[in-house]
Amino acid sequence: MHSKGFNRTMRIWLYATYFILFAPIAVIIIMSFNKTPFGMLPFAFTLEWYELLFTGEALIESALLSLELSFAVALSAMLLGTAAALGVQYLPRRARSLFMAVNNVPIVIPWLVQAVALLLIFNMTGLGRSYTGMYLGNLIVVLPYCVMMAAARFHEADRAPEDAARLLGANRFKVFWDVTLPMLLPGVVAGGLMAFMVCFNAFAMQYFLAPFGVNTLPMEIFTMIRSGYKPDMNALSALLIIVTLAVVLLLNKLNRRPNALSNRQQPS
Amino acid sequence: MKKALPALPSAALFLCLSLVPLAMLALFSFVAGNLSPAGQISGFTAANFIRAFSSWTFPRLLGKSVLIGLLVTAICIIIAYPAAWALAKVVKERRRSLMMSLVIVPFFTSQLLLIYAIMTLFQSKGLIMTFFGMLNLADPATSILYSNAAVVIVLVYEYLPYMILSLYTSLEGIGDDLLFASRSLGAGMWFTFRRVVFPMSLPGLLSGILLVLVPVTGSFVEPELIGGASGMMVGSLINSQFSEVLNMGYGAALSFVFLVALAGIMAIINRGMGRAAGV
């Protein structure tokens, strides 16, 4: 806290932590270009694993299913979560903190237990393992993220423009459309992107709730890892990691301006 | 109250798809045998609970999972605390936003890919074993995969970003003026940490513990893929009741006991933290 030496130690510790976090990911990406299929040395450059990946059919099919599922779930969660954040601010304080506590339950509870509890309910109602069940299961674990992101936006933002618009005679719909929504939008989009990524990777929910014989991409990857080494796994992982990196950088851009509306109105 | 109506659909979803199913676990614990979508409930029995505690298998796995959870959480705190401090207080502000984004990358990467990355790194004749072999520390043809140690390593790797992010949120809120005041009033570094930094970081630490300990204790994918025969956890046992043995009533009983145990642990930690904050 005081000395230069202390700060330097902390900084080195931080970089070491980043090294631990990213070395395994970097190795996967490098090895996806390596000729020996088992990720071993020496290194010889090749693109054949990527060719293999795009000519195989099982992965494309499950990747498409995962994309469709995540898109549907993220879109629903975005709409529901934004509506919830809008409504929850008018609740009395006690009710609001109860809502936020309940909101955290699906994030904290092990997804194994959450998934198993849902499977039992679905079996009891006769729904069983189904697309509907899988959709609902994934929705409930990503919805909290959308609520949190939109609610955080409300919390940070300057609410004066809304009152001003109302005073100037705008009706409630117009205030929402022209003032509230643009203010919320970065939070809504960030929540939606987060929901998409979390849903895309929500293996446990899909593993227990997907219809029999239907595999999402994470389920396919699970089978690949368990059944032993598949050389195009590295190529697939590398691609997914690069997409993730792109999404994270996009999120970073979205979050940079906490109040887009008032920023715009400030003379620069 | 009318203005709060838009929150209703989400509230209903949380009720129907999260709270009610979790509460219903208690009921399903008494179902005899399997619960398939077509089949009727054949009867209610307490046999599931008796079975869970009549041998040591389940209690031992439950205890082991909690210990692994505590160990992983402790390692995460040790690694993440200084890192989060550096991120919040040492790194220049210009670079901070990019570094924060980078921490989120593993959080958004599939858990399966992270497991796979560790497997590749630690496999026999892989990068790390070759390195140890060159130092004559271990035979490069062996590997630590398929053991409890491997499970712990993977879990620390997966959950480290959660701990860093939680701690960062709290540490960032500590004003520099506060640290300066403590220092100019003659407090040493250790005293400042104990009386200023640590108490103020407690909310972040608590949420970090919550976000790491609970999911780690309930993990089943990691033991399945990288734990081998000895690496089973309580999640593996629950999972097998639903995907292999198909004895869902028994699985529900195990899940219910597990959930109650988790709630107990969280209550203890909450109280302990409250007391520590009162120092």
pLDDT tens digits, B99-110: 888 888 888 888
Q: What are the backbone angles phi and psi of residue A45, rounded to the nearest 5°?
A: -70, 135
Confidence (pLDDT) at A1: 52
Phi-psi sector, A79: left (phi>0), alpha (psi -120 to 50), beta: alpha
CA distance A215 to A227: 15
* Domain B64-231, CATH homologous superfamily name and number: MetI-like (1.10.3720.10)
CA distance B29 to B250: 6
Residue in chain A closest to B120 (alpha carbons) equals: A39
**Most confident residue range from B22-31, B121-130, B185-194:** B22-31
Smallest Cβ–Cβ distance between B86 and the set A14, A20, A237 belongs to: A14
Smallest Cβ–Cβ distance between A256 and the set B25, B97, B160 belongs to: B97
Q: How confident is the model at residue B159 (pLDDT cuts 50, 70, 90)?
A: very high
Q: How confident is the model at residue A41 (pLDDT cuts 50, 70, 90)?
A: low
In this predicted structure, the answer to whether residue B111 has a pLDDT above a threshold of 70 is: yes
Smallest Cβ–Cβ distance between B105 and the set A88, A200, A244 belongs to: A244
Tell me the three state secondary structure of residue A3. Answer: coil
In this predicted structure, the answer to whether residue B274 has a pLDDT above a threshold of 50 is: yes
- Determine whether the interchain pair A24/B197 forms a contact, defined as Cβ–Cβ distance below 8 Å: no
Confidence (pLDDT) at A265: 40
Smallest Cβ–Cβ distance between A248 and the set B85, B105, B258 belongs to: B105
CB contacts of A198 in chain B (<8 Å) are 108
Hey, how many other C-beta atoms are within 10 angstroms of the C-beta on A75?
A: 13
CB contacts of B223 in chain A (<8 Å) are none
* CA angle (B76 as vertex; B223, A26 as ends), nearest 5: 75
CB contacts of B90 in chain A (<8 Å) are 7, 10-11, 14
Confidence (pLDDT) at A253: 78
Structural domains for chain A: 57-265 (1.10.3720.10)
Q: How confident is the model at residue B181 (pLDDT cuts 50, 70, 90)?
A: confident
Confidence (pLDDT) at B178: 85
CB contacts of B113 in chain A (<8 Å) are 28, 221, 237, 240-241
Confidence (pLDDT) at A261: 43
Confidence (pLDDT) at A44: 72
- Determine whether the interchain pair B235/A112 forms a contact, defined as Cβ–Cβ distance below 8 Å: yes
What pLDDT digit, counting tens, does each position of B234-259 carry?
999 999 999 888 888 999 999 999 99
What pLDDT digit, counting tens, does each position of B131-148 carry?
788 887 777 777 778 889
Q: Which of A99, A119, A120 to mutate to test the interface with B (most CBs of B within 10 A)?
A: A120
pLDDT > 90: percent of chain A:
37
Size of interface A-B (CB pairs under 8 A): 277
CB contacts of B103 in chain A (<8 Å) are 21
What pLDDT digit, counting tens, does each position of A195-241 carry?
999 999 999 999 999 999 999 999 999 998 888 767 678 888 888 99
Mean pLDDT, chain A, whole residue set? 85
Instruction: List the domain boundaries for chain B.
Output: 64-231
User: CA of A253 to nearest chain B CA: how many angstroms apart?
Assistant: 10
- Determine whether the interchain pair A120/B25 forms a contact, defined as Cβ–Cβ distance below 8 Å: yes
- Determine whether the interchain pair A84/B98 forms a contact, defined as Cβ–Cβ distance below 8 Å: no
CA distance A106 to A93: 22
Of the ranges A30-39, B71-80, B85-94, B118-127, which one carries the lowest mean pLDDT score? A30-39
Residue with tokens 């997966």: B158
In this predicted structure, the answer to whether residue A89 has a pLDDT above a threshold of 60 is: yes
What pLDDT digit, counting tens, does each position of B61-70 carry?
999 999 999 9
- Determine whether the interchain pair A24/B118 forms a contact, defined as Cβ–Cβ distance below 8 Å: yes
Q: Which of B8, B20, B108, B192 to mutate to test the interface with A (most CBs of A within 10 A)?
A: B108
The more confident residue out of B124 and B15 is B15
- Determine whether the interchain pair B183/A2 forms a contact, defined as Cβ–Cβ distance below 8 Å: yes
Average pLDDT value for residue range B217-230: 91
Q: Which of A8, A12, A14, A180 to mutate to test the interface with B (most CBs of B within 10 A)?
A: A14
Confidence (pLDDT) at A267: 40
pTM for the whole structure: 0.89
